[in-house]
Amino acid sequence: MNIRLTRLFVLFFAVPLLSGSCGENTVDPPMEELPKMSISSITLFEGDENNIFRFQVSTSKTVTTEAKVNFATEEITAGKGTDFIEKSGTVTIPANERNAFIEIEIVADTLKEADEQFKVVLSNAVNATLQTAEGIGTIRNDDTYIDVPDDGYATPESYVGYDLSWGEEFNGSTINTSDWTHEIGAGGWGNQESQYYTDRPENSFLTDGNLIIEALEENYNGAPYTSARLITQNKKLFQYGRVDIRAILPEGQGIWPALWMLGTNISDIGWPACGEIDIMELVGHEPSTVHGTAHWGNQGQSSSDRKGSSYTLSGEKFSEKYHVFSLIWEPNSIKWLVDDNQYFSLTNSEVNGNYPFNAEFFFIFNIAVGGQWPGDPDQTTQFPQRMYVDYIRVFQKS
């Protein structure tokens, strides 16, 4: 072969072959990526009538061919049939669209309860890939009615030799601010407590003739729990008489309900010099036992002198039905009773130093959470916890 032919041969085979007779590129174009599919989450109030939650199913871009996906509801804290209507099926996003909707019926009621959740789960997507496969439905409670049991102990509306000086039956629709003030805030309240006291209806309200104080586990203004503390300071003040308070108490590790009194001169001389009368206290890990205590001490004293005792139910808890917590308060003498059974008494002769219990006092109702005495809640503690107060009545001698 001569040199000229050799050069032509090398040049011919060194030129890259192109597709087709005209030498065009034969590399296939990349496959079009499927759109990503997601479902939204929804939070709505429950309402007084059955409501519809519309979950939006959407794709990352318009679909050129209809996309389908299966769905089914699942319980979280909301119950099928009681809080939402169970549903399953297939939802389709038509060609040239990006959205479709799944409608789930919510069952309304009038009971106050915690917010509840369920979910809608997607599976088996066609012509799309699943990106967010679960949508959470949060049913916000907007009711205040609580079904309150009526069984338990009750005391009479009158006593021989006494007149009713003040009676609060809690029969209205809102808390009577002429008699009661909410104390607000956190800071431990002198006992390393963990709650934030609020004046919100979530923490204190009236229903079915009861004052309800409700402790919640929620982050509020930096505190991990909320509750309520109501006082009659500067509004309803008393010196002596018979006090009856009918109540159902909360329970659980770290829960600390109290029905108690402080001397009205606390602003002048401080605690414990003003005196403290604990009509009832309960630490929630001992739900069958209540305590009655008196505290006193000198002005400026950092801790109190005190005496008290306890009353324990046999085979039941104070959270199960109403009991009546009473004081018979007379000059130089106080007696503590549960369901008319006296379990403790105190006289001025048993108090060293100043006896502060012959002066005016005001009432305090509250649920504390955590603190030096009950300790903190743990994994066994259930929320919400409620104290139901049916009435407070103060009788004084005629």
Instruction: Kindly list the catalytic residues.
Output: 276, 281
Beta bridge partners of 293: 278, 308
Evaluate the CA torsion angle 140, 145, 151, 156 in order and state its sign. positive
Confirm if 102 and 71 have CB atoms less than 8 A apart.
yes
Beta carbons within 8 Å of 311's beta carbon, 6+ residues apart: 289, 290, 291, 292, 336, 338, 341, 343, 344
Quick one: which of 96, 91, 102, 38 has its CA closest to 69? 91
Interior angle at CA 203, CA 172 and CA 179, nearest 5: 45
Residue type, 178: S
Confirm if 294 and 304 have CB atoms less than 8 A apart.
no
